[in-house]
């Protein structure tokens, strides 16, 4: 059941088609060797395929996977977003199984004080999110942009990129059956990072 708050938020977003157009989808993002590498990493982590209420997530420290981001995916994402981007975290693998979902959230936060704190992994610096869909064989599990009333149906070996903005608040609908394996990266804008360095230098909150 949709809340009245959801309806109110959606009513406040003008020109929704223009915002939806900024959700970029790229087919065949990984070649055969890369696709096998990513899926093997999930298998190595012994992902639990039994029904679970929450998705199984873990950070990736594999150097071969990092190299795929360094040499290919970061450049592709920068091209899609039209500006130079820097990886903000290590890749995160998330595997959804029957019963798994994710609650509505936005990947970027816009609190001035937080932006001016000298904190590693400051989520206020996240400019966009890139999600790579690996093996996807499920009923349900749509990526749903709540404020835009827009659903994306996941497809294997696609990458979906969207801005980390409150307008792109999103959730993952419950996986009714099957599984849905993903790898995601948060990116920061190089311009934003340089601005952050200067502003933090003169911020009274930099040591908080």
In-domain check, residue 137: yes
In-domain check, residue 160: yes
In-domain check, residue 206: no
The alpha-carbon radius of gyration of the chain (Å, integer) is: 18
In-domain check, residue 208: no
- Mean predicted confidence (pLDDT) in 58-81: 96
The DSSP bridge partners found for residue 87 are 187
User: How many domains, the chain?
Assistant: 1
In-domain check, residue 60: yes
* Per-residue pLDDT tens over the stretch 108-160: 755 555 555 555 555 567 788 999 999 999 999 999 999 999 999 999 999 99
In-domain check, residue 134: yes
For residue 12, what are the domain limits?
Answer: 4-201
Helix, strand, coil percentages, rounded to 5, for the chain: 35, 35, 35
Is-contact 31 165, C-beta < 8 A? no
* Per-residue pLDDT tens over the stretch 31-62: 999 999 999 999 998 888 889 898 999 999 99
Q: Which of 24, 5, 18 is nearest to 132 (CA)?
A: 24
In-domain check, residue 21: yes
In-domain check, residue 207: no
Share of the chain above pLDDT 90, in %: 59
What CATH code is carried by the domain that includes residue 47? 2.60.120.620
Lowest mean pLDDT among 9-18, 62-71, 182-191: 9-18
Q: How many residues does the chain have?
A: 208
Kindly report the pTM of this predicted structure.
0.82
């Amino acid at each position: 059941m949709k809340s009245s708050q959801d309806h109110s938020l959606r009513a406040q977003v003008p020109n929704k088609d223009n915002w939806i157009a900024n959700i970029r989808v790229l087919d065949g993002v990984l070649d055969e060797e890369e696709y096998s590498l990513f899926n093997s990493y999930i298998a190595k982590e012994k992902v639990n395929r039994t029904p679970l209420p929450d998705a199984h997530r873990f950070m990736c420290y594999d150097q071969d996977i990092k190299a795929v981001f360094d040499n290919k995916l970061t450049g592709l994402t920068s091209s899609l977003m039209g500006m130079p981007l820097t990886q903000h975290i290590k890749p995160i693998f998330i595997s959804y199984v029957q019963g798994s979902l994710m609650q509505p959230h936005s990947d970027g936060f816009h609190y001035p004080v937080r932006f001016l704190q000298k904190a590693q992994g400051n989520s206020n610096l996240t400019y966009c999110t890139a999600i790579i869909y690996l093996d996807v064989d499920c009923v349900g599990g749509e990526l749903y942009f709540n404020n835009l009333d827009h659903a994306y149906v996941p497809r294997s070996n696609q990458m979906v990129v969207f801005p980390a903005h409150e307008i792109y608040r999103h959730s993952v609908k419950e996986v009714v059956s099957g599984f849905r394996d993903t790898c995601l990266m948060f990116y920061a804008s190089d311009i934003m990072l340089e601005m952050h360095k200067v502003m933090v230098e003169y911020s009274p909150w930099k040591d908080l």
